[in-house]
Chains A and B, each alone.
Chain A
Amino acid sequence: MELFANLATGFDVALSPSAMLYCLIGVTLGTFIGVLPGIGPLAAIGVLLPITFHAPQTEAIIMLAGIYYGTMYGGSTVAILLNLPGTAASAVVAIDGHQMAKQGRAGPALVMTTLSSFFGGCVAIIVVAGFAPPLAQFALRFQSPEYFSLMIMGLLAAAVLVQGPFLKGIAMVLLGLLIGTVGQETISGLPRFTFDTLYLYDGLSFVVVVIGLFGLAEVLRNLALGADREKVDTRVGWRELIPTKRDMKDSFMPTARGTGIGAFLGILPGAGPAIASFVAYALEKRVSKNRRNFGRGAIEGIAAPEGANNAAAQTSFIPTLSLGIPGDAIMAIMLGALMIHGLTPGPQIIQNNPEFFWGLIASFWIGNLFLLLLNLPFVGLWIKILSIPYSILFPAILSFIAIGIYSLYREPMDIFMVTGIGLVGYLFIKLRCEAAPLLLGLILSPLLEENLRRSMLVSRGDPMIFVERPISLIFLILTVTGVGLVLLGSWRASRTPQTEEGSAK
């Protein structure tokens, strides 16, 4: 019952007119900024942070949180409509979402994005409200060996993610792993592939790679097609904007599974939110009855990662708020904002500032509701973007990409880099090499290497550390089982005519 009393405290704060106003401003700003290609949550929060310095403390954080998930909603919108993802999560959503848009089903795709996100967000909020402190303690049991084994499982997800020829897909994962080694290496402190420049010291900027490989490459592909560019039917009536009963039914379980995965992975600082969408998509691709349609516009391919992404976004507040430890760059900024406003994040924040903590939790829910209300009516408007002639649309996209990339670090080199990577991305499209596995490889690379090497330092060189620790062992067993199932599946497929012969062995 304490939970309800706490939530009541929270809603008292969050339903105050000023909190609602800041929440609304936050989600609206976030949505509109997120729709601009090249501007993801990190850029949006970084740019808008100073605005919140002048707001009262609770309102400021509510607004930032609103910007954060508003940007994610907006990011999914542009990823689906124009295949211009700005984050890893929206890159996953774009795989099937953009295919749906091409088939004239952008409406259902966008509505489902909104609904799945709302569902994922709502469930995760209950998790945050009910179990934040014990979950934060659980997250502490994840140390280097656990992270390493989790990342190994992530590699399995990469293998499942591959759509076309398996070898090509694996090559892309490996390429991603390689690109991920660029920059100063944490364990030795030595630079790798930096060409003696400071520019590459922190590695290739993730946003630059995503925008180049997906956004810019897509623009190039469309321009190369010229008059042959796929015509998207945009004269859809209101009825066709809404997902069918079947869409809803097909999406429910994927959304629920995705939400579960996202809520769990979001708790783990650093690694979780980034891989949540990938893992949810990969799982769905294995368990769905509709798996053959994945990559060709399957609505499950949107529902699962969207639910995961938003659930992870909510639960990633758990370590940030209750341990005072930021999970990623975005959370680090949020933490900084807390400190600027004189709030000390940490285990005591729930006791010392209950109105703030529970107010923020309640405002998550209100923010999600605003997003639902804001996005559903806008779906029709967003789809109109598709009817803009490409000759007008593409220069606009290119300028937004340039502005977005530059605003991130004020680094002119990033613009050249995104151009170069865009050309490479176009080459990949021509060679029919998928970019999504590369992206996952890029995310996993430093996590895999650092945690492996740290584990070995901690164990003084004994690899048994990975099987002696229960959580790590569970992940390894899951991975081995997964690999076994994949191999068994392909072995069965290849041996169908002579089954008896095979089983006799």
Chain B
Amino acid sequence: MRTNEKSRASATLVTPASAPVRRTPAPPAERMIDAPPFPENVKNYINNEQLRANMRHATHTIRAKRSAVAAELPNWEELRTAAEDIKNHTARHLDYYLEQLEANLIKNGAQVHWASDAAEANRIVIALVQAKGVDEVVKIKSMVTQEIELNEALEAAGIAAWETDLAELIVQLGHDRPSNILVPAIHRNRDEVREIFLREMKLYGKAAPEDLDNDPKNLAAAARLHLREKFLRAKVALSGSNFCVADNGTLVIVESEGNGRMCLTLPETLISVTGIEKLVPTIADLEVVLQLLPRSSTGERMNPYTSMWTGVTPGDGPQEVHVVLVDNGRSKVLADTTGREVLRCIRCAACMHACPIYERVGGHPYGSVYPGPIGSALTPQLRGFNSAIDKSLPFACSLCGACAEVCPVKIPLPDILVYLRHRVVEEKKRGHLGLEQTLIGFFGWVMSKGRRFGRFGTMAGLARRVLGKEYLRSLPSLGKRWTASRDLRMPPKSSYRKLWKKRARRKGGA
């Protein structure tokens, strides 16, 4: 059980003598999919006061920024609807648009690769890097490469992948995992970042200045110097994409720091790995999504850097461009007419920033690179419902609806989660009957007849008469989960149904 992020991070520095020498900082050893069920995993994080404070500060700040800039646009709702339509249309005709994208990429000098799963995508990327005869690459922040665990696959092949996004760098040097899809180091504060930089940078390249303080400006400067030598050395860059325009073969990356622009322009070879749901049909569609994404994510009117590239431009930028189109479960999700609405996601993170549950523990307890509401709705569908964590994720939600309210592509997240709960339960029903099913089955029977429910009310009233208390402070079994933190109000002696009957008799007699 993990209780302290910091002690875990430093513990991983002790490398056994027999282990092969790593090129990059090792992430946590446990596989995400082996995480305990969400309610159990929450216990490993929720009492970490530092984490709670960091998360609360970060989510509340970004939440306020988002709602301020969304409110500025009089046509915000129309933009959301337009984006919903664009993404739905693209998904319905994905076969057509994917082939159109491929043809246009090839026409413009890019090479296109298709990967049905993570292993195939990783094999393709490793072979491409090895063909260039290099043993290191620079990387732009990319969720799909986190999803397919590309960095570790590269490491195993003797290739060092250096994260160049500031937050991803903090995560990588911290032997950590991202806890947010937009702000991967959202769970860290500046003091922790300083510690990580001082401890780790010197092991993997240019050391941080010894007198480094916790001023964000100085932390960014240390990162800039550390990364600069990697940018200048790199022959190959890896990226994802925010959008792929099918009818002209243009890929789009939006970012804040300029590290992406460096990766997209300096190295000779660029390999872009992208999920097949990232397509939009035409360049005009960017007008909609590029208004929604920055406002929904960082809460900015426009992101500082928007890079677009179309295959190879002779004499300018990378002269060898590859695009790896990754399925990894997406076509399976697309086949589910209810569940597929999650494929509209443009990875803005507004849902997690709005989520009261995510706010209290961050992304790690979700056991997925996609945490929060979208993670709970997307991850089990992508990975299948086989692991304990994936079966628990659809229930990691109080159905408050704050996420659906802010989603720029109008994914009805609570509805999807309720639907996925049904899928989990249907599967569970094939196994043995547990306490939950017995109770639910009993109440389902009670609630199917007014008279039965009336009798239940009478029994509840009798319980009150016997116990004679207005509140119970402790209950056994499942009830303990309620009374551990709050008292249980007891029913009064008479249900309303009884009172109504008495009243009707009184009236009738009057």
The finding on whether chains A and B are genuine partners in a shared complex, rather than unrelated, reads: no
Q: Which chain A residues have a beta carbon within 8 Å of chain B's beta carbons?
A: none
